[in-house]
A and B are shown apart, each in its own frame.
Chain A
Amino acid sequence: MKSAIATLLAAVTSLSAVAADEVNIYSYRQPFLIQPILDDFTKQTGIKTNVVFAKKGLIERVKREGKHGRADLVLTSNFSAMIQLEEMGLTNAIESDKIDKNIPASFRDPDGHWVALTKRVRNVYSSKDRAGKLTSLSYEELANPKYKGKICTRSGKHPYNLGLVASMIAHHGEAETKTWLQGVKANLARKPQGNDRAQVKAVKEGLCDLALGNSYYFGKMLEDNKQRAWADAVYINFPNQSDRGSHLNVSGVVMTKYSKNKENALKLIEFMTDNKAQNMYASMNMEYPVKPGVELSKLVASWGTFKEDSLPLSEISKYRPMALKLIDEVKFDL
């Protein structure tokens, strides 16, 4: 009886028990960037890739699907998501000499549960006309009353801002960070809204003089005919160069605990840490590759070198829940 039902089910569903030569991906990162990399991977290895692209909820989906889930990899756009997956016990150790060789230890989980693929900096953009280049600016200074009504940012709850707030807590503690957040909120030119690009646009239009944003947006805007004028109106500044260095965030990848195609998944991760894919990240999305020696895009290189905050990401991510709580407490977004 049971076997009859099993045969029947197997016949009517296209899901076969033994997967073909493929790998299934949940991606928080966008199609325009990931699809070319995947296509290239398929061309080289013959392994088919299936993707679900989404901006939200993939972690939750992996959790719900449990051991019968079909995702082998999750591509994330920030470190919190990877560490969250790891903490939920949904990840698998990634063991590969090749990956260990490609990626410096500080950008891998010590136990191999996540691997960073690209770096991005949380920059402060300043209006060329009204603020000038701010070489000695720090994140702390954004709370200084002299900037009242002059700062723009996206929602405080966005992972990029949460990461920054978490790093502030890691360096200064909860109470001081709360005071800092209140100060920044008091300096906002408008309610947090839009994405990082929209902030630069607002600076160009004169709504604000300073804006927080990730580094790669700047490069992408300079490449877009319509948006070049926005980017041309601002300087890109790397904060805290005289002390701990600028806050870094990373995009990365984890292998799911219940992956059915571990070998293929590993091949794909290796591929993503290697020259070809790292180059694509650098040239197509203006990000900082994690693999040493991979060339930056010319444009990104022209911004010069900068000092990175060396506090480990796993340390910073501990404070993410607290960061979220503080954002709510000071009603940052309201």
Chain B
Amino acid sequence: MQLKQSLSSWQSMAWLIGIALSIPLAFLIFEALQGESEVFSHLWQSVLWDYTRNTLVLIAGVVTLSALIALPLGWLTAYCRFPGKRVFEWALMLPLALPAYIIAYVYTDLLDYAGPVQIWLRQQFGWQGPDDYWFIDLRTLPGAIVMIALVLYPYLYLIFKTALREQSFKLVQASQLMGMSPAQSFFKVSLPLSRGAIVAALALISMETMADFATVHYFAVSTLTTAVYDTWLGYYSLTAAAKISGIMLLFLFVALLLERMSRKTQVVHERQSGVNDTHLYDLTGYQGWLAWGFCMLILGIAFFVPVGILLNYAFHYFEQAWNAEFFTYALQSLQISLYVSVIAMFISLLVVYYQRIEPGKFTNLPGRFASTGYALPGTVLAIAVLLPLTLMDTKLNDWLDGSGFEPGLLLSGTLFAMIFAYVVRFYAIAHGAVESSFVRISPSIDMASLSLGKGRFQTLTQVHLPLLKRGLLTAGLLVFIECMKELPAALLLRPFNFETLATHVYQYVSDEQLELASISALFIVLVGLIPLYWVNRSMEQHN
């Protein structure tokens, strides 16, 4: 009886979270079902197929490229020793702090026909016009794939590396003893064992890709996300925009389904004990330098070159780009990112824990519901959030009518709307990270704890939390950095006189004058580095 009661309170909490976070989506679906939309059928007949194809190619490309970058990197830093490894281990996460549209801008500037690289080539070879030679055209679909993959691969890298670390080390050692080569061991042991984590990370990456607006818009690549924008803000048809979001949701469910199927694979509940510094392979000589070269190449392209160019802008345009407002923007960005990441960590912990203690057919549903917000592009999400919030505001105002106090837009016109939207959007990241950490804790630990007379809650706080620390921090960190970069939702939901660094920078990017906001752009990166450093340090201590 006692047990049943405590279960049901966990249950109601999880369901409450799941429902609260999927309310915006429910409103959106309701909007999408609002009868025939003339606009939608027109789009269907003209450009929608192109948009869909572009979106699918974009996702497939980004996922593939991210895997090619991140899997080798994760494996190298988890299991090998080579020059610079200790630095690379955390440095390879750095590109996460860069918004995709910023590196898109920087590289366009660099590699454009009118950019320094091509001008130099033309001078060197005496080429006259664009017809005389071939050069990379960055503002294309493949260009967008490369840009987005460069800033999203750290997801996979981080999650894969963590998975490898937490995997049974003995298995890999055994494979070594049985005479497997490193490559064989990688493909036959490490990859299959971390399949769940890899698919989860790739699902995250594909959702992030789908939600990207600024980069594809800047590259003039039309995707479903840009179509949602055009439809809603150009055709003024929320219904048609919601219908297009529906297509995107289908993709999302496929991604989630894949993730779930991969979770069904056998899980090995064993945590690696001992120090983290054990490494299986000593890469010496040219192998070591090859590993160093590969890490350096990725880090250079994805981080040092863009940041170097930003520094260069900042140096040349210092007078125009420097203003005291940064600190305000930085503070406001930090503030909202902190709120959201703490909330996301906390509620994802509750939901995942409920899934754990009450395994059943429907236990996963709250988490799934709550994760759906992730695939919505920020604009759509902003609207989806405004729909229920303004409704509640209106009701509240009507109810208080005559009391002499009119609260106005208490929910939708304040920071609340922004925080809520961010939580809806990024819950999935936290959920994925927490879930994959939880899965590695053997259920027998729970049983032991319960049989020793600890309650569910105590088990969570005293037994699980210390074991989950790393996963939770990773979750919080990822959410934090995403919040720093989040743009479309911020643009639409900002209260008066509120700017984040991202919105400030984007104003200039869309004017093709990033130079003038280069310092703010560097600030985004810098602020993203603080939590990276902090999490890394706590992991070191943890080890």
A5 within 8 A of B: yes
**Distance (Å) between the CB of B494 and the closest chain A CB?**
6
Nearest B-chain residue to A15, judged by Cβ: B408
Interface range for B: 35 or more
Task: Tell me, in angstroms, the Cα distance from A31 to B507 when the chains sit together.
Answer: 9
| A residues 24-70 in Cβ contact with B at 8 Å | 24, 30-31, 50-57, 59-61, 64-70
Contact, CB under 8 Å: A69 / B410:
no
Query: B409 and A68: CB pair below 8 A?
Result: yes
Chain B binder among A91-99, A202-210, A271-279? A202-210
B232 partner residues in chain A, CB cutoff 8 A: 57, 60
Residues of A within 8 A of B511 (CB): 30, 195, 197
A331 and B46 contacting across the interface, CB-CB below 8 Å: yes
A324 and B234 contacting across the interface, CB-CB below 8 Å: yes
Given contacts A17-B406, A325-B42, contact A5 B400 (CB under 8 A): yes
Whether the pair B222, A334 counts as a contact (CB closer than 8 A) is: yes
Kindly list chain B residues whose C-beta atoms are within 8 Å of the C-beta of A64.
383, 386-387, 390, 412
Q: Determine, out of A163-171, A186-194, A235-243, A290-298, the stretch whose residues face the partner at the interface.
A: A186-194
Q: How far is the CA of A19 from the CA of B446 in the complex (A)?
A: 56
If A6-B404, A50-B496, A206-B129 touch, whether A57 touches B233 (CB-CB below 8 Å) is yes
Give the residue among A57, A67, A155, A324 with the most B Cβ atoms within 10 A: A57
Q: Is A176 an interface residue when CB atoms closer than 8 A count as contact?
A: no
**Any B CB within 8 A of the CB of A141:** no
- B358 within 8 A of partner (CB): no
Judge whether A328 is part of the interface by a CB distance below 8 angstroms: yes
Contact A333 B222 (CB under 8 A): yes
User: What's the least CB distance linking B214 to chain A, in Å?
Assistant: 11
**Distance of A5 Cα from B499 Cα, bound (Å):** 31
Determine if A197 and B235 form an interchain contact, defined as CB atoms under 8 angstroms apart. Answer: no
CB distance from A31 to the nearest CB of B (A): 7
CB distance from A166 to the nearest CB of B (A): 13
Q: Is there contact, CB below 8 Å, between A329 and B130? A: no
Query: Does residue A301 face the partner (Cβ distance < 8 Å to B)?
Result: no
Bitwise, B220-253 to A at CB < 8 A (1) or not (0) is 1010000001101111101000000000000000
- Establish whether residues A56 and B229, one from each chain, have CB atoms under 8 Å apart when the complex forms: yes
| Contact (A321, B235) CB under 8 Å given A70-B408, A191-B220, A201-B114 | yes
**B377-419 interface (Cβ within 8 A of A):** 379, 382-383, 386-387, 390, 393-394, 397, 399-400, 403-410, 412-414
- Shortest Cβ distance from B458 into chain A, in angstroms? 34
Least CB separation from A194: chain B residue: B512
Question: Digit string of A291-334 for contact with B (CB within 8 Å is 1, else 0)?
Answer: 00000000000000000000000000000010011001101011
- Once A24-B496, A65-B413 are accepted as A-B contacts, the answer to whether A10 and B386 lie under 8 Å apart by CB is no
Given known A-B contacts A57-B233, A206-B130, A331-B46, A15 and B383 have beta carbons under 8 A apart: no
Whole-angstrom CA separation of A69 from B220 in the bound complex: 34
Taking a contact as CB atoms under 8 Å apart, the answer to whether A51 and B387 are in contact is: no
Question: Which residue of chain B has the shortest Cβ distance to A328 in the bound complex?
Answer: B46
By the criterion CB–CB under 8 Å, are A193 and B139 in contact? Answer: yes
B442 within 8 A of A: no
In angstroms, Cα B238 to Cα A51, docked, is 25
Give Cα A177 to B495, complex, Å: 42
Q: In the assembled complex, which residues on chain A have CB atoms less than 8 Å from the CB atom of B386? A: 61, 64
Q: Which residues of B contact A55 (CB under 8 A)?
A: 491, 507, 510
Interface string of B161-175 (1 = CB under 8 A from A): 000000000000000
Q: For the complex, what is the distance from the CA of A51 to the CA of B408, rounded to whole Å? A: 17
> Of A7, A51, A328, which is within 8 A of B496 by CB?
A51
**Chain A neighbourhood of B394, CB < 8 A:** 66-68
Indicate whether B88 reaches chain A with its CB closer than 8 angstroms: no
B residues within 8 A CB of A9?
400, 405, 407, 410
The count of residues in chain A whose C-beta lies closer than 8 Å to any C-beta of chain B is 56
Does B136 touch A at the CB level, under 8 Å? no
**Interface of chain A residues 84 through 127 with chain B (CB within 8 A):** 84
Bitwise interface map of B from 504 to 540 toward A, beta carbon under 8 Å scored 1, else 0:
0001001110000000000000000000000000000
Interface pair A10/B405, CB less than 8 Å apart: yes
- Pick from A6, A7, A65, A334: contact of B390, CB under 8 Å: A65
What's the nearest-Cβ distance from chain A to residue B379, in Å?
Answer: 7
With A6-B403, A195-B510 already in contact, the answer to whether A69 and B413 are too (CB < 8 A) is yes
A254-295 contact mask (Cβ, 8 Å, vs B): 1 or 0: 000000000000000000000000000000000000000000
Rounded to whole Å, the gap between the CB of A140 and the closest CB of chain B is: 24
Contacts known (A328-B43, A331-B46); A15 close to B410, Cβ less than 8 A: yes
In the complex, which of the residues B234, B412, B492 contacts A54, with contact meaning CB atoms closer than 8 Å?
Answer: B492
- Nearest chain B residue, comparing its CB with the CB of A260: B408
In the complex, residue of chain B having the shortest beta-carbon distance to the beta carbon of A230: B114
Asked whether A128 is an interface residue with its Cβ less than 8 Å from the other chain, the reply is no
CB contacts (< 8 Å) of B412 on chain A: these are 64-65
B497 within 8 A of A: yes
- Name which residue of chain B comes closest to A88, CB basis: B236
Chain B hits for A325, CB < 8 A: 42
- Partner pick for B113 among A56, A66, A192, A207, CB 8 A cutoff: A207
**A84-B236, A205-B114 are known contacts. Are A197 and B512 too (CB-CB below 8 A)?**
yes
Residues of chain A within 8 A (CB-CB) of B495 are 52
B47 at the interface (CB under 8 A from A): yes
17 cross-chain CB contacts under 8 A: A13-B410, A52-B495, A52-B497, A57-B382, A57-B491, A60-B236, A60-B238, A64-B386, A64-B387, A65-B413, A193-B139, A195-B512, A205-B113, A206-B130, A321-B235, A324-B230, A328-B42
Q: Which residues of B contact A (CB under 8 A)?
A: 42-43, 46-47, 50, 113-114, 128-130, 139, 219-220, 222, 229-230, 232-236, 238, 379, 382-383, 386-387, 390, 393-394, 397, 399-400, 403-410, 412-414, 491-492, 494-499, 503, 507, 510-512
Given A57-B492, A193-B219, 11 extra CB contacts under 8 A:
A7-B405, A9-B400, A31-B507, A51-B497, A54-B494, A55-B491, A57-B382, A59-B233, A60-B383, A68-B413, A194-B220
Q: Which 5 A-B pairs have the closest CB atoms?
A: A193-B220, A6-B405, A50-B496, A6-B403, A205-B114
* Chain A interface residues (CB < 8 Å from chain B): 2-3, 5-7, 9-10, 13, 15, 17, 24, 30-31, 50-57, 59-61, 64-70, 84, 155, 157, 162, 191-195, 197-198, 201-202, 204-207, 321, 324-325, 328-329, 331, 333-334
